[in-house]
Amino acid sequence: MLIQKPYLRERAVMYANRWAFRRNPLFADFENIGGNCTNFVSQCVYAGSCVMNYLNLFGWYYISLDDRTPSWSGVTFFYNFITTNQGVGPYGREVSRDEVEVGDVVQLYREDKGFYHSLLIVDFADEDILLAAQSDDAYARPLSSYTYDRERFIKIDGVRLLSEDIGDCFVSVYDGVAIVPGG
């Protein structure tokens, strides 16, 4: 039976603040092979959840550049995993703009590209949403400053795990020491 735990939004935002303008050495940089935005968002969500889903093709995990799922670094694959995940790891759903909180995700769409960019919500200012991203490195950049045709909002509702005794990855991943506790 799966155990539920909360998604720690403040940890996702802390991670984004620390790494938005530089690269955590634990993770490959996809900047020159399609962009690093979803890889960065996955790192942030991992910092807030400390649980990966190790299903080969349909899970959500990162061990190395050559051992990861498409959902870790691909915009559409990330959306598909988070919004359909019934197993271990973070899960969520597409929501309206007024339902999002810090630590949730925005994906941008352009007619010529489809959904092409993932960003993490780090704050709100007046009527705008402030975002962190990589590929176009930013922290607290207003959503209104981006050029896109439409957006979708992904609310991270929680995290499922198999055992309560999984350890806490936050400090090790935040400090760039290890991806998994004790790793």
The model's pLDDT over 6-34, given as tens digits with 9 standing for 90+, comes to: 999 999 999 999 999 999 999 999 988 87
Number of H helices, E strands in the chain: 5, 9
Confidence at residue 166, expressed as pLDDT on a 0 to 100 scale: 66
Q: Do the domain assignments include residue 92?
A: yes
Place of tokens 């969520």: 92
Low-confidence ranges of the chain (pLDDT < 70): 164-166, 181-183
Number of domains in the chain: 1
Confidence at residue 165, expressed as pLDDT on a 0 to 100 scale: 61
pTM of the predicted structure, to 2 decimals: 0.96
Confidence at residue 149, expressed as pLDDT on a 0 to 100 scale: 98
Q: Do the domain assignments include residue 128?
A: no
Confidence at residue 105, expressed as pLDDT on a 0 to 100 scale: 98
Confidence at residue 167, expressed as pLDDT on a 0 to 100 scale: 73
3-state secondary structure of 107: strand
15's enclosing H/E stretch is helix 9-19
Rounded to 10 degrees, what is the CA torsion of 48, 124, 120, 166? 0
Q: Do the domain assignments include residue 43?
A: yes
Q: Do the domain assignments include residue 113?
A: no
Q: Do the domain assignments include residue 126?
A: no
Half-sphere exposure in the Cβ direction for 63 (13 Å, CA):
9
Confidence at residue 183, expressed as pLDDT on a 0 to 100 scale: 34
Q: Do the domain assignments include residue 124?
A: no
Q: Do the domain assignments include residue 119?
A: no
Q: Do the domain assignments include residue 162?
A: yes
Residue among 125, 117, 132, 98 nearest 9 (CA): 132
**Domain enclosing residue 44, as ranges:** 3-99+154-174
